[in-house]
């Protein structure tokens, strides 16, 4: 790993504008008058460790850097699903519909989509809530998943779940309200939530997940968090990430029911981040959608307001770069929905080719169709391999001194707890960084493994973690663990 100790260039060297100079007169837009909420935002998933990682990658051969910081399967060697890419290629370049090399069902999928595109071209703006047949396929997917009816008009296609979550959170902004409006978020959480709430100037009510109970969601803790926030905030919504990011837990049905009762009792809108619904690795875990649980609870709960999010970036597809997902609204006030549609219309639409990938994810080949066997094989192989890697990571980290790792039941991450020696904590303090940031930067410099410190997701005071993905392919994953173990042992020894 000696080679990785490259000369340090300033992390932000690449960020300076060439045309700028401090010799010039005062700017109109400066750091002092910049949008204060933009200044306040943090997004650790692409934070300083990752920026430094990219620097190292530029300086060295690419294979050395292991980007375990972000849920980006293809970047870590996962191959695309052939069916998805063939359909996209045909929609983009319809001359391929004449090609004998393209299976018949692929062509039919592409033709169905093109028929719903303006001028039969992916180059036309789509309707703002998405291409109609794709919304219908999303509804069929949900209906099949839940065993319940689903209306396609409740579905809005977005440029990834990120955009959907941001658009829904935006609805709650109201600086004219007597008390500041706030949203409950889990801690640890995916930092899109905290960053967006900061950007929108919405309050955060943080409920802590129960690490000792495999990151379960404890309703007493939710009650505590909400109760304590009441003097300062008017809390209107609760975000739940299931399966969990960064902690990889999968909520039990009972737990979901408790959350629904809690939300209903306290008039909270539920934002259910269900983008990892296909990533379940624990044999005793099962994915239940909030929508299904709410419907089956019935009675007073059946009117619970809910927005559920889905993404092609996760699951077995891993198509992060194509930017597509959907929101399904349940029980949203129709007047609010009209305003939502007006709001998104100013942004025009999500990418037609991203929407095509979404179509393939929710409407894959069926048994007997020419593409089915290959699709099935590719999908199963990816999910099986992810399962293996989930177990491998958990066992490897769990076996080391000074690390505890809960079961990776689902999603794409492990979030091991670090028992950092006091000297390491002091060394971090002397550098004015969080102790787990210090650990993560040392790890990067020594091993080329890029992770995200627990402080980027939030954690109980005095605890330290890091998030790693399970996405490096098996040989690289084994290499990652081989690099990690001696680093960790040395670190613990050095600061003992």
Contacting a second copy within 358-377 (CB under 8 A): none
Find the binding residues for a second copy in span 27-46 (CB under 8 A). Answer: 27-31, 33-39, 41-43, 45-46
Going residue by residue from 292 to 311, which x/- string records binding to a second copy, judged by CB under 8 A? Answer: -----------x-x------
Extract the runs of DSSP E, i.e. beta strands, from 244-393.
Answer: 269-273, 306-311, 325-330
Binding segment toward a second copy, per CB under 8 A, in 146-154, 253-261, 428-436, 451-459: 146-154
Q: Under the criterion CB under 8 A, does residue 151 sit at the interface with a second copy?
A: yes
Alpha carbon distances (Å) from 427 to 7, 112, 308, 421, 443:
21, 60, 43, 10, 15
* Minimum separation from the CB atom of position 100 to a second copy (A): 11
- The distance from CA 227 to its chain's CA centroid, rounded to whole angstroms, is 28
Residue 101 CB, nearest approach to a second copy (Å)? 8
CB 155 within 8 A of CB 328: yes
Distance CA 478, CA 396 (A): 10
Shortest reach from residue 403's CB to a second copy, in Å: 28
Q: Is 119 exposed, middle or buried (0-12, 13-18, 19+ CB in 10 A)?
A: exposed
Q: How far is the CB of 460 from a second copy (least distance, A)?
A: 24
Angle made by CA atoms 233, 236, 239, in degrees to the nearest 5:
110
Whole-number minimum distance, CB 196 to a second copy, in Å?
A: 7
Radius of gyration of the chain (CA): 23
Query: What would the x/- binding string for a second copy be over residues 163 to 192, using CB under 8 A?
Result: x--x---xxxxxxxx-------------xx
Q: Is the dihedral of CA 241, 242, 244, 249 positive or negative?
A: positive
Q: HSE, CB side, 13 Å, CA atoms: give it for residue 356.
A: 30
Residue 209 CB, nearest distance to a second copy (Å)? 22
Looking at residues 56 to 85 of the shown chain, list those that interact with a second copy (rule: CB under 8 A): 67, 70, 72-80, 85
To the nearest whole angstrom, how small is the minimum distance from the Cβ of residue 192 to a second copy? 6
Instruction: Output the smallest distance, CB 316 to a second copy, in A.
Output: 12
Binding mask 191-230 for a second copy (x = CB under 8 A): xx--xx--x-x-----------------------------
Q: What is the dihedral of CA 390, 67, 315, 46, to 10 degrees?
A: 120
Span interacting with a second copy, options 223-231, 262-270, 366-374, 410-418, rule CB under 8 A: 262-270
Q: Using CB under 8 A, which of the segments 122-130, 414-422, 425-433, 440-448 binds a second copy? A: 122-130
By C-alpha distance, which of 98, 141, 91 is closest to 117? Answer: 91
**Footprint (CB under 8 A) of a second copy, residues 394-423:** none
Among 140, 144, 341, 482, binds a second copy (CB under 8 A): 341
CA distance 411 to 396: 18
């Amino acid at each position: 790993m000696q080679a990785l100790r490259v000369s340090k260039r300033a992390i932000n060297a690449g960020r300076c504008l060439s045309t700028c100079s401090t010799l010039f007169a005062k700017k109109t837009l400066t750091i002092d008058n910049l949008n204060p909420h933009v200044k306040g935002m943090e997004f650790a998933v692409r934070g300083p460790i990752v920026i430094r990682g990219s620097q190292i990658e530029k300086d060295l051969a690419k294979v050395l850097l292991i980007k375990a910081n972000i849920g980006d399967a293809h970047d870590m060697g996962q191959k695309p699903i052939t069916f998805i890419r063939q359909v996209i290629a045909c929609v983009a370049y319809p001359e391929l519909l004449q090609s004998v090399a393209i299976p018949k069902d692929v062509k039919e999928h592409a033709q169905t989509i093109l028929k719903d595109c303006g001028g039969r071209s992916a180059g036309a703006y789509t309707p703002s809530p998405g291409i109609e047949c794709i919304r219908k396929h999303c509804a069929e997917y949900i209906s099949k998943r839940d065993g319940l009816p689903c209306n396609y008009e409740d579905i809005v296609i977005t440029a990834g779940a990120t955009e959907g979550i941001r658009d829904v959170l935006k609805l709650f902004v109201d600086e004219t309200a007597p008390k500041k409006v706030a949203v409950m978020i889990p801690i640890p959480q995916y930092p899109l939530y905290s960053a967006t709430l900061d950007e929108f100037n919405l309050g955060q009510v943080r409920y802590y997940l129960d690490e000792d109970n495999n990151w379960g969601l404890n309703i007493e803790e939710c009650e505590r968090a909400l109760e304590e926030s009441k003097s300062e905030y008017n809390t209107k919504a609760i975000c739940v990430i299931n399966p969990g990011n960064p902690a990889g837990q999968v909520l039990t049905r009972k737990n979901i029911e408790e959350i629904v009762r809690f939300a209903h009792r306290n008039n909270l809108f539920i934002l259910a981040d269900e983008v990892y619904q296909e990533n379940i690795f624990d044999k005793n875990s099962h994915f239940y959608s909030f929508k299904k649980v709410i419907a089956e609870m019935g009675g007073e709960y059946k009117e619970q307001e809910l927005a559920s999010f889905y993404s092609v970036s996760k699951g077995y597809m891993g198509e992060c770069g194509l930017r597509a997902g959907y929101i399904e609204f349940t029980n949203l006030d129709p007047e609010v929905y009209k305003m939502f549609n007006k709001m998104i219309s100013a942004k025009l639409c999500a990418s037609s080719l991203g929407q095509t990938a979404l179509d393939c994810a929710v409407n894959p080949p069926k048994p007997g169709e020419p593409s089915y066997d290959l699709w099935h094989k590719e999908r199963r192989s990816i999910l099986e391999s992810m399962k293996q890697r989930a177990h491998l990571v958990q066992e490897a980290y769990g076996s080391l001194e000074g690390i505890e790792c809960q079961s990776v039941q689902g999603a794409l991450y492990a979030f091991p707890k670090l028992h950092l020696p006091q000297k390491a904590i002091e060394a971090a303090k002397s550098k004015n960084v969080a102790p787990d940031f210090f650990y993560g930067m040392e790890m990067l410099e020594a091993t080329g493994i890029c992770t995200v410190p627990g402080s980027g997701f939030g954690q109980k005071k005095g605890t330290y973690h890091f998030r790693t993905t399970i996405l490096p392919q098996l040989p690289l994953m084994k290499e990652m663990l081989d690099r990690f173990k001696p680093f960790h042992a040395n670190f613990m020894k050095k600061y003992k």
